[in-house]
Chain A
Amino acid sequence: MQNFLAKNGPIISTYFLIAISFWIIFLIIIPQIYMLDLSFRPNLPPLLRGGEEDVYTLTHYKHFLFGSETSKDAYNFVDLNVFFKTLATAVVITVLSLFFCYPIAFYIAKVAEHKTARFLIVSLIVPFWINELLRAFALRILFAGEGVINNALLNAGLMDNAINFIGQDVALFTGLTYAYLLLMMFPLYNALESLDTNQLEAAKDLGSSTLRTHWRIVIPHAKAGIASGSTMVFMLTAGALATPVVLSSPNTFWFTQLIYQWFNMNDNWSRGAAYSVLLLLVSVIFVLLMMKIFRIKVGEIVK
């Protein structure tokens, strides 16, 4: 602390301290504690809040697991189903994202000439200036029943009936993968960029095939970048709202949509809060578990 003060001088040190504490305390800790607190309280009309009935309760969590008291099912299958389907889809999206980003990031970091690399990075970034909702609707136009793709295929005589891209959730997968692509791309690119190109040549000189070089040299080197990108894509996909609202099929329900309904349409903030807490908690546990399995330390992913 003394060191920090001596190194940066009083003005900069004070600015850092205030800015960082403000960020952590006011933007993260207080709202989350409020949410956590809210999730354990009954949903009461404003007049009764703070009254006798306002006591801590597990009713919202119970609702998530077992459903409403009038329900005949043993478990709340509807919500649980949405919850696990959301997480599973987020895993698939993360894997897809990695699958598409790895070759591109490798190409930009290690193969392309400097000029080409810069051009490619710019062309990756620029489309993301368009806002998320607009991008989602643009995909909807492409994938709609009478959308660009179907019309083109039908007019070309390649098929007789339109494909239901939205109903099959093709549009949803595409949209979600695309939405957070850069968050996979950049950590991957950073990790690959720092790989000594001589190592690739050394492996080749020793007789290694391209595939083996990637498996034994490149991927282990980029492990932290892969973990960092995957974590971000998974978390953001699991918590996405706009893209699923626009692109999911009528039968697919994203867990965030459920949360949104509790908050807004049903005006049940405490239940919304409980569902949010659950999503956050399970996502974090899942990520930590994955990191444990792949032997990655939390410190590594911010390298």
Chain B
Amino acid sequence: MSADVELQNISINFGDFYAAKNVSVMINKGEFFSFLGPSGCGKTTILRTISGFLEPSQGQVLIGGKNMAGIGPNKRPTSLIFQNLALFPLMSVADNISFSLEVRGHSKANRRARAEELLDLVALEGQGDKKVHELSGGQRQRVAIARALAIEPEVLLLDEPLSALDLKLRQKMRSELRAIQKRVGITFIYITHDQGEALTMSDRVAVMNEGRIEQVDTCQAVYEQPKTPFVASFVGENNPFHGKITACKNNLVEVSCDGNKFVADIGKIDCELSKKLTAGKKIILFVRPESISIKNNKTKTQNSFTAKLDSVEFEGHLQNLFLTTGSGMKVRLSVPNTEEISHLNVGQSMDFTFAAQNAVILPEGNLAVD
């Protein structure tokens, strides 16, 4: 069985410090939902509140419509997977997995059967008698998942459980987690600071900063239509151009950024946000590195600027070009490595271009700090 989770106006403070402030979100039944944000943004606090280890200072947690106030973590229909997994090192793998059943007084045979079943689910057939330390990192991960699933929770909470794994394994575990979630069909709430993890696995993402939710949306929307400068700069790479709106014509907004005139298409953004975009308003225009290209005679240009090439960085599938504009702005641009760029010289000035549809305009606000 699966349940929805609703956070109603949750605030959590430790003295004067607010770890979470006015957080409200509805997480649907059976959804893979992620809280994404930099460390210290309050996402772990939120998770601990849902699991019952923390009581909110204000607001309430509803799981399956039921108010969870005063209900301890051992009585909630949630299971938590810890960042360091917190497997019990002195117990066998099977005993770890069936611990929640042992607690509830199930018979030994019953426990064993359930452990076997779960070991199958996480592709660890026949490893039940091993000790935890005999398993590899990825296998331990799966034991933790199996242990959390043993009592058939309605909501599974995951606190950055992949962060200790190396890159390859992490990528493999992402798709595995997603597959397990599809199979068991319960709500997964995932905490991470790694946008790659959040974007590849989740149905929806809440981007958090300084205890507040900045945006709740699908992965694609968070990436393509960020609603705040923080989201625009935190999720993926982005180039901010600070400037002012000079004119608005239908969906096209003209802006002036350090002497460059750019046009952005705001047709896709919601109207509440577009209402704020009026002439004279201070804004930030964001362009993704992959949306900028080197201008040549064939490109029909809406927006272009001149910049000097500072350096080129090779990143496997991509090549990153680091530029400085005439006014000293740093711009980053990525081209697939299939593109020939060997004719470019460092120090050379060139024209670059991007389309109006690829520019996002947002009212001035805080950017994510690297």
Contacts and interface: CB of A to CB of B under 8 A. Distances in A.
Interface stretch (A97-105, A117-125, A136-144, A203-211): A203-211
B88 A198 contact: no
Interface string B90-114: 1100000001101110000000000
B147 interface: yes
A206 B103 contact: yes
A148 interface: no
B74 A196 contact: no
Given A198-B84, A209-B103, A204 B90 contact: no
A196 B79 contact: no
Interface in A168-198: 196, 198
A207 B103 contact: yes
Contact of A204 (B72, B88, B102): B72
B86 A206 contact: no
30 contacts: A196-B86, A198-B82, A198-B86, A201-B73, A201-B80, A202-B80, A202-B82, A202-B86, A203-B99, A204-B72, A204-B73, A204-B74, A205-B51, A205-B73, A205-B78, A206-B74, A206-B79, A206-B151, A207-B74, A207-B100, A207-B104, A207-B151, A208-B100, A208-B103, A212-B103, A216-B88, A217-B88, A217-B90, A220-B90, A221-B90
A198 B53 CA distance: 11
Given A209-B74, A217-B88, 7 more contacts: A201-B82, A203-B99, A204-B73, A204-B74, A205-B80, A207-B75, A208-B103
A60 to B, nearest CB: 46
A264 interface: no
A199 interface: yes
Interface of A (DSSP majority class): helix
Given A198-B84, A199-B88, A202-B82, A208 B72 contact: no
Interface of A: 196, 198-199, 201-209, 212, 216-217, 220-221
A202 B104 CA distance: 15
A23 B304 CA distance: 83
B325 to A, nearest CB: 49
A293 B199 CA distance: 54
Contacts of B73: 201, 204-205
Contact of A199 (B74, B83, B86): B86
Residue picked from A201, A206, A212, A220, most chain B C-beta under 10 Å = A206
A19 to B, nearest CB: 37
A58 B167 CA distance: 73
B35 to A, nearest CB: 18
A144 B48 CA distance: 54
A206 B99 contact: yes
Nearest to B72: A204
Contacts of A203: 88, 99
A288 to B, nearest CB: 23
Interface string B42-53: 000000000101
Given A206-B74, A208-B74, A208-B103, A201 B53 contact: yes
A205 B79 contact: yes
A207 B150 CA distance: 11
Nearest to A208: B103
A201 B86 contact: yes
A115 to B, nearest CB: 15
B75 to A, nearest CB: 8
Contacts of A202: 80, 82, 86-88
Interface in B41-73: 51, 53, 72-73
A212 B105 CA distance: 11
Contact of B99 (A201, A208, A209): A208
Interface string B102-133: 11100000000000000000000000000000
A221 B99 CA distance: 16
